[in-house]
Amino acid sequence: MRILIVLLCCQALLACAVFNTSTRRSTLNDTMQSWINSTETELISDWGVPDKSYTLNNGDKIVSYLSFVHPGRYCEQKFLIQRGILTKWGHSNCDLYFSNSKDISKTIPIPKPTL
């Protein structure tokens, strides 16, 4: 009986060590939000030339990057650029979580798309 109690205590302690409840995995939304207030030049330097670009009547631009997800499905990530600065973002058909995502504080809410 003592061995069972010791094993249960060890298992409970291990579970606490493995599951850190103060963090969450970063998402695509976190990555997209991190680009807000960056310049168009910084984005292109890092991501390359966009796959699609559209200039609005007021001079603002929407740029889109497409990436292959699986046959018949592409992820589209887009940014609104106003006066050379990224101000809004959105995505469609994209996976929210990455296999290489990082742990970040759980107190940081998952950002919502703005475009």
Q: Annotate 29-97 with DSSP letters as a single string.
A: HHHHHTTTT-BHHHHHHHH-S-SEEEE-TTS-EEEEEEEEEETTEEEEEEEEEETTEEEEEEEES--SB
CA-based nearest residue to 112, from 86, 91, 81: 91
Residue 7: the pLDDT is 47
Report the distance separating Cα 29 and Cα 96, nearest Å: 7
For the cut 70, the answer to whether the pLDDT of residue 19 exceeds it is: no
Report the distance separating Cα 69 and Cα 88, nearest Å: 23
For the cut 80, the answer to whether the pLDDT of residue 12 exceeds it is: no
For the cut 90, the answer to whether the pLDDT of residue 71 exceeds it is: no
For the cut 60, the answer to whether the pLDDT of residue 51 exceeds it is: yes
Look up the pTM and report it: 0.76
